[in-house]
Chain A
């Protein structure tokens, strides 16, 4: 029973264009949403997050969108850079009292110079 689905295992984008990574979830208890980035042979690093009371959060080139009615989360990277090439995981928690992050399977982004 997958609570989180990242349906695109990989994505290739030209440098300078927009990268859009998507995540769908089924658990209505999730109310805090995060994106982590992972380079090979390194641990995941936090990228950006959004709480359920918002529908958009921006941090520089990165914007996260939340559509609660559709249970859909997306990450936009504009403009994409070669250094953005990594695996991106969406992750969810069920609120401030939760101890557990539930991760998607990841999407490998390749930004082509």
Chain B
């Protein structure tokens, strides 16, 4: 099993550009989520999905879109990048939707918005 994979590892964008961060898992996990980590901060939840076709907002959803057309994939779209979105983005998945399930994290995507 590859676990949770994320691409790209690193990306530089100009303000106003759009892009999609890719996330895939091969563990047949029901629950997937996106977090961002800023310097000196803990991880904050952006969006999550409890199954194919079902998504919802987390703590910091503004400026991001998600969709879940398959169990395996959960892309995160930046519609119009802003310098405030410079961060490290982590995708995570877990077997079920319960809060007590262990979440497995991808290696992260480092995004720089100029």
Q: Which of B60-85 contact A (CB under 8 A)?
A: none
- Residue A60 interfacial (CB < 8 Å): no
Interface size class of B (residues with CB under 8 A): 20 to 34
Instruction: Contact check, A45 vs B105: say whether CB atoms are below 8 A apart.
Output: yes
Instruction: Contact check, A99 vs B56: say whether CB atoms are below 8 A apart.
Output: yes
Interface size class of A (residues with CB under 8 A): 20 to 34
For A32, the chain B residues whose CB sits under 8 A away are: 99-100
Which single residue of chain B is at the shortest CB-CB distance from A43? Answer: B105
Instruction: Contact check, A101 vs B99: say whether CB atoms are below 8 A apart.
Output: yes
Nearest Cβ distance between residue A9 and chain B, in whole angstroms? Answer: 8
Instruction: Contact check, B100 vs A51: say whether CB atoms are below 8 A apart.
Output: yes
Instruction: Contact check, A44 vs B43: say whether CB atoms are below 8 A apart.
Output: yes
Q: How far is the CA of A106 from the CA of B43 in the complex (A)?
A: 9
Q: How far is the CA of A32 from the CA of B94 in the complex (A)?
A: 16
Which single residue of chain B is at the shortest CB-CB distance from A2? Answer: B42
- Residue A113 interfacial (CB < 8 Å): no
Instruction: Contact check, A4 vs B42: say whether CB atoms are below 8 A apart.
Output: yes
| Binary contact readout B42-63 vs A (1 if CB under 8 angstroms, 0 otherwise) | 1111001010000010110000
Residues of B within 8 A of A (CB): 4, 31, 33, 40-45, 48, 50, 56, 58-59, 90, 92, 97-100, 102-108
